[in-house]
């Protein structure tokens, strides 16, 4: 990763946040934190809300590069659309390019890629948005209970349900259908939830997430103060193997710059890839800052290093 010493080398930076996705509020929270951190380090950084305003400003020549902290799809800036627009305008940005962003946002296609490479991911069935009840229940019988139902292209645990019995299946599908796009049904892996953050070409220490409730839902991620975060999440060879798997999964999807890979570790000690995130949260509850802190990288330095990734790879 190219290292920058002088904040003037970044030029005028747009910190794009908010947008129109289901994750707007999380993105605004992340963006405010990133903006304050960059300003504190002397970067000429400015907040921009959403893709249309950003592209207008970029076309007018107001910014030299973009720190993308939008989350989600359909105006969320994490699905490859913004990346393509910025590449066409020759504007560097943080995070993955078009391919990595689009593949990671689509959980179904992410899993197809991982399966093709022999990487472990839970058994799944993709469901079109219009799948009828017969198809839904047939898919559930194919997967077996317990299972997960979720939108195929959302993040932050929105629309996700754990289903232990067929009587609760229709309600879970109805919740997932509140969000745009198709659905994904997959085996519920019972065990420990872990995540591995990626910064440049380095996998940071894993985090074992221990929510007070049954699992790590939206409330536990962003609202509750009682979730425990154990970092590193594993020790010795198990930790090394997990970090290596996360980096392979990240690379397999064409991701670059920075991100996060979420994993379930079952009770037999096997790791199962869930999803990759190309613009992870940077709130006070978020996981990438916690992993960085375990390596002695404080929040302002982390934001600086993420901004440095805009000089690399697809974003350059």
Residue positions annotated with a catalytic role: 23, 156, 222, 260, 262, 275, 277, 281
Mode of pairing for the β-strands spanning 45-49 and 13-17: parallel
Estimate to the nearest angstrom the gap between the alpha carbon of 204 and the chain centroid. 15
Nearest in space to 302 (alpha carbons), one of 156, 206, 197: 197
Kind and range of the H or E element at 302? Answer: helix 299-308
Here the tokens at position 271 are: 């790791």
90 torsion bin: left (phi>0), alpha (psi -120 to 50), beta (else): left
Residue 121 burial (C-beta neighbours within 10 Å; 0-12, 13-18, 19+): buried
Residues 157 and 67: their CA atoms lie apart, in Å, by 23
**Residues in the chain, how many?**
316
Residue 229 burial (C-beta neighbours within 10 Å; 0-12, 13-18, 19+): middle
Give SS3 for 68: strand
Query: What dihedral do alpha carbons 304, 309, 315, 316 form, nearest 10°?
Result: 100
Estimate to the nearest angstrom the gap between the alpha carbon of 94 and the chain centroid. 14
DSSP 206-237: PEEEE-SSSS--HHHHHT-S--EEESSSS-HH
- DSSP conformational letter for 9: G
């Amino acid at each position: 990763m190219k290292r920058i010493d002088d904040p003037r080398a970044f030029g005028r930076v747009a910190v794009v946040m908010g947008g129109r996705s289901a994750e707007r509020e999380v993105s605004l929270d992340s963006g405010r934190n990133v903006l304050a951190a960059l300003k504190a380090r002397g970067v000429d950084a400015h907040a921009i809300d959403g893709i249309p305003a950003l592209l207008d400003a970029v076309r007018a020549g107001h910014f030299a590069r973009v720190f993308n902290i939008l989350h989600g799809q359909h105006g969320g800036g994490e699905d490859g659309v913004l990346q393509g627009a910025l590449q066409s305008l020759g504007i560097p940005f943080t995070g993955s390019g078009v391919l990595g962003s689009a593949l990671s946002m689509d959980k179904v296609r992410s899993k197809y890629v991982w399966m093709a490479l022999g990487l472990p991911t839970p058994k799944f069935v993709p469901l079109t948005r219009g799948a009828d009840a017969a198809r839904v229940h047939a898919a559930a019988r194919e997967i077996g209970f317990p299972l997960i139902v979720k939108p195929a292209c959302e993040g932050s645990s929105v629309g996700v349900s754990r289903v232990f019995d067929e009587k609760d299946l229709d309600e879970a599908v109805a919740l997932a259908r509140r969000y745009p796009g198709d659905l994904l049904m997959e085996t519920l892996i019972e065990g420990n939830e872990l995540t591995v953050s990626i910064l440049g070409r380095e996998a940071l220490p894993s985090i074992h997430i221990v929510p007070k409730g049954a699992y790590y839902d939206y409330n536990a991620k962003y609202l509750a103060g009682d979730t425990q975060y154990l970092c590193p999440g594993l020790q010795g060879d198990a930790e090394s193997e997990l970090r290596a798997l996360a980096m392979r999964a990240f690379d397999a999807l064409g991701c670059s710059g920075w991100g996060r890979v979420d994993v379930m570790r079952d009770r037999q000690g096997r790791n199962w890839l869930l999803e990759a995130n190309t613009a992870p949260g940077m709130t006070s509850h978020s996981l990438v800052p916690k992993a960085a802190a375990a390596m002695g990288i404080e929040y302002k330095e982390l934001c600086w290093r993420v901004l440095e990734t805009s000089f690399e790879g697809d974003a350059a």
